[in-house]
């Protein structure tokens, strides 16, 4: 194990600085979706029950180092308190006398939320003076915000170099799931990557074809690969200037024995509109005015057969325009099949990324996969093989 375990920490009476992700959707000054608050509950409850003073650090929106009243974390206090079923104190600053006064007033097991970290420019700059000012309010540091782990900010990376650092319980689950998917997976390992643009996922594709046994490519980005292979894509969205890049990825996959699955048949329509008349076409049989909007039934059947012969699946991005039936069929059918195999214990299925979570919710199976990450950018950068400063800073160094 490369991280300290929170389960082994001496917590009673200790001031625990906990980085959480409370960058929640707001409507009319109220929390519109409390998913991120709920994800922090296990760590907060654990620390509170162990007698720690729980001091929550978070950012909201992008105030860029200035006090913006509309970006205050104050509206989070009441819904968080209800979820915890205990009072949550609020400090009007994250450092200095106001923060200290609130923290000093906490009893063992008490919880406080400090004001938006990004009101101070030192947060995003990872300024050493700001890091020291934050650290004065804590005895140990716990990062439970994997979604912000790709940022080297004061509260995600800097604090771990001053205080003893631990992953929170939610982050620990995420790290274990990611290790099971790409770190030390059960093989064969299959990937599904979809979405509209190859250009936004170049690093991802180039990394995955060196690590996976098979990779299915869908969504709009598949059009670029089909075009690169000489197939007519009609009026479909296609990054034609990336055709050579697509061919390079195909070559790289071959060199690394990664079998690529591109659509074998396609669903087309003249208009991208709900309920638009859809037709199934073979590759290349696309009229000039038609758009490819989904993978066809044979392509989905091939993906399902590939899942049957895999032990691990990592998924990012839909296979078609899932928001617009009937072009959601490939995504829904593949997602439901992956969930079935995961529930039967035949497949470790890990998924993440904004559109992916929405697509899995649309298919009604987000809760049935092995693990679904809501971390967005951090999840993608991990899939791309990039270092995550907020994770690396927590790793136990030689001599610790």
The CA distance from 310 to 15, in Å, is 46
β-pair partners for 260: 215
The CA distance from 121 to 251, in Å, is 45
Q: Are 72 and 116 in contact (CB under 8 A)?
A: yes
Catalytic residue among 377, 385, 386, 395: 377
Q: Are 217 and 225 in contact (CB under 8 A)?
A: yes
Q: Are 371 and 177 in contact (CB under 8 A)?
A: yes
How are beta strands 189-193 and 165-167 bridged, if at all?
unpaired
The CA distance from 25 to 298, in Å, is 39
Task: Report the side by side order of strands in the sheet with 279-282.
Answer: 279-282, 265-269, 291-295
Active site residue 197: yes
Structure token digits, residue 27: 């409507």
Beta-carbon neighbour count of residue 112 at 10 Å? 21
Catalytic residue among 354, 385, 386, 395: 354
Active site residue 377: yes
Residue 387: exposure state from Cβ atoms within 10 A (0-12, 13-18, ≥19): exposed
Q: Is 27 helix (H, G, I), strand (E, B) or coil?
A: strand
* Closest of 258, 244, 239 to residue 191, by C-alpha: 258
* Closest of 23, 38, 15, 25 to residue 116, by C-alpha: 23
* Closest of 368, 320, 317 to residue 344, by C-alpha: 368
Catalytic residue among 197, 279, 311, 395: 197
Residue 356: exposure state from Cβ atoms within 10 A (0-12, 13-18, ≥19): buried
Q: Are 302 and 264 in contact (CB under 8 A)?
A: yes
Catalytic residue among 4, 14, 19, 36: 36
Distances (CA, A) of 355 to 43, 74, 115, 195, 373: 27, 29, 30, 8, 11
Q: Are 43 and 50 in contact (CB under 8 A)?
A: no
By annotation, the residues acting in catalysis are 36, 197, 354, 377
């Amino acid at each position: 194990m490369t991280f300290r375990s929170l389960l082994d920490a001496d917590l009673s009476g200790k001031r625990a600085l906990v980085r959480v992700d409370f960058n929640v959707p707001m409507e009319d000054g109220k929390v519109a979706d409390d998913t991120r608050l709920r994800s922090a509950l296990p760590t907060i409850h654990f620390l509170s029950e162990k007698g720690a003073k729980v001091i929550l650090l978070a950012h909201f929106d992008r105030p860029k180092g200035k006090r913006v009243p509309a970006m205050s974390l104050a509206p989070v206090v009441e819904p968080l308190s209800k979820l915890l079923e205990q009072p949550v104190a609020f400090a009007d600053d994250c450092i200095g006398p106001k923060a200290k006064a609130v923290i000093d007033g906490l009893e063992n097991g008490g919880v406080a939320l400090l004001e938006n970290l990004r009101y101070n420019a030192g947060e995003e700059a990872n300024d050493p003076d700001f890091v020291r000012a934050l650290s004065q309010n804590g005895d140990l540091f716990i990062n439970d915000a994997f979604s912000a782990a790709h940022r080297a900010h004061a509260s995600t990376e800097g604090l771990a170099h001053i205080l003893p650092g631990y992953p929170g319980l939610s982050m620990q689950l995420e790290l274990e799931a990611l290790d099971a998917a790409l770190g030390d997976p059960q093989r064969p390992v299959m990937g599904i990557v979809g979405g509209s643009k190859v250009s936004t996922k170049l690093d991802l594709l180039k990394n995955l074809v060196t690590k996976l046994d098979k990779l299915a490519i869908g969504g709009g980005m598949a059009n670029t690969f089909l075009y690169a292979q000489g197939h007519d894509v009609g009026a479909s969205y296609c990054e034609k200037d990336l055709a050579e890049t697509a061919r390079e990825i195909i070559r790289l996959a071959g060199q690394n024995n990664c079998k690529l699955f591109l659509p074998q048949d396609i669903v087309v329509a003249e208009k991208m509109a709900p309920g638009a008349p859809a037709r199934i076409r073979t590759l290349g049989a696309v009229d000039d005015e038609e758009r490819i909007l989904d993978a066809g039934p044979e392509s989905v059947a091939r993906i399902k057969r590939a899942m049957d012969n895999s032990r691990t699946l990592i998924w990012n991005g839909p296979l078609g325009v899932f928001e617009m039936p009937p072009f959601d069929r490939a995504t829904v059918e593949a997602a439901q099949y992956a969930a079935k195999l995961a529930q039967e214990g035949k497949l470790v299925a890990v998924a993440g990324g904004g559109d992916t979570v929405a697509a899995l919710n649309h298919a009604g199976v987000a809760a049935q996969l092995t693990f679904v990450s809501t971390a967005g950018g951090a999840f993608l950068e991990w899939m791309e093989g990039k270092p995550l400063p907020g994770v690396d800073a927590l790793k136990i160094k030689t001599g610790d």
